[in-house]
Structure formats: C-alpha cells, structure tokens
C-alpha cells in the first residue's frame, strides 16, 4: 500500500530528534501503522532495514541499531518517533478529544485536582500527554500514572510542564502541532 503524506517535519531537542508525520489516511490498522513507522525510520535514518521489537514493558527498540533510545506514539492521523543516542526519551502525541473529560478520574490525582480546578480539554490533553511521555521515558516502570506522577505546572508561554514522579522531578516540553494536536516529550 502506498501512503501519501501532507505534513512531515522534525523537532530537534537537546536530547535528540523527533520525527513527525501526518498521514492522509485516518485510523489505520496496527499493521499499516507499524509499516508507516518502519518507512519513516528507514527514510530518516537512511538505512536499508529496520527491525523494531518491544521489551515486556512495551518500550520499543531497534534490533539492528541497539545504541539508539526510541519512543513512538501515534494517533488517528499522526505518527511521531523520538530518537536519542545518549538519553532515555519519551514522547506522546495527543489529539483533543472529549473522551479525556470522561476518563479524567482515571489519571488526574488529588494534587492535580487542587492545582487545575475545572481543567479544560486542552489542559487534560497536556496532563495525559505528559504522563504518557513520562511512562515511556521510564520504560513502563509505573503501576499507576494517577498515583505515581503528578503534574505540578503547565506553562503555555515557555511550553514546559513540571512533573513530580516517584523517581523525582521532570520537565516535559510541548508543542501544538495543529489546532487539535499536542506533542509532549521528556
């Protein structure tokens, strides 16, 4: 199957690079998403063959390029891959969805409920994205993102999210990449 893209760009971070692509097709099945991820990596890394496998925690790794740290996220139209040679990385791409309002009690903790009184969907989207990227950063070492990660501040001016986890403080960064989509990384 041939894919056509209408948006593709990279974000350079102090730790590595995030490859981002918007597909023209929505809601692809798992096999097609995996193929698109392989195609994007092969193109960006300019190597012939990519073999992605996963640890028991779900964290991906590239079998034939072991020295790379990698985090992958996708939504209905977007794929992003964060790669670093020297640092652990975590990335999440989130589309604005009313579902976040319905499930917020599954990921918002007591502290966050005090800080973010009546959070709007955009705030919920960033909290969820930060927690997901932190989960990936620590290779799935958390049993409860609600209880073990707390988002303490979201600064829209600096595009930073301050988080406290059972492993200590973290700073996440974020970027709004379209009207309804945020990218969050650590």
pLDDT tens readout for residues 116-132: 999 999 999 999 999 99
The upper half-sphere exposure of residue 87, i.e. CA atoms within 13 Å in the direction of its Cβ, equals 14
pLDDT at 6: 63
- Confidence (pTM): 0.89
pLDDT tens readout for residues 49-86: 888 888 887 888 888 777 889 999 998 889 999 999 99
For the ranges 41-45, 79-83, 92-96, 105-109, the lowest mean pLDDT is seen at 41-45
C-alpha to C-alpha distance for 77 and 75, rounded to whole angstroms: 6
Domain map of the chain by residue range? 5-89, 93-185
Task: Answer for the pair 38, 51: CB distance below 8 angstroms, yes or no.
Answer: no
């Amino acid at each position: 199957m041939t894919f056509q893209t209408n948006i593709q760009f990279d974000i350079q971070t102090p730790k590595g690079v995030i490859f981002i692509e918007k597909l023209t097709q929505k809601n692809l099945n798992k096999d097609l998403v995996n193929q698109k991820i392989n195609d994007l990596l092969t193109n960006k890394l300019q190597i012939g063959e990519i073999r992605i496998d996963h640890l028991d925690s779900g964290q991906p790794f590239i079998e034939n390029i072991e020295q790379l740290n990698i985090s992958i996220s996708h939504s209905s139209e977007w794929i992003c891959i964060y790669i670093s040679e020297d640092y652990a990385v975590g990335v999440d791409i989130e589309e604005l969805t009313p579902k976040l309002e319905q499930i917020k009690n599954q990921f918002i903790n007591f502290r966050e409920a005090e800080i973010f009184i009546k959070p709007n969907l955009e705030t919920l989207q960033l909290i969820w994205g930060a927690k997901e990227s932190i989960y990936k950063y620590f290779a799935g070492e958390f049993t409860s993102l609600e209880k073990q990660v707390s988002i303490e501040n979201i600064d829209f001016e600096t595009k930073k999210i301050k988080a406290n986890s059972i492993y200590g403080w973290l700073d996440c960064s974020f970027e709004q990449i379209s009207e309804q989509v945020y990218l969050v990384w650590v």
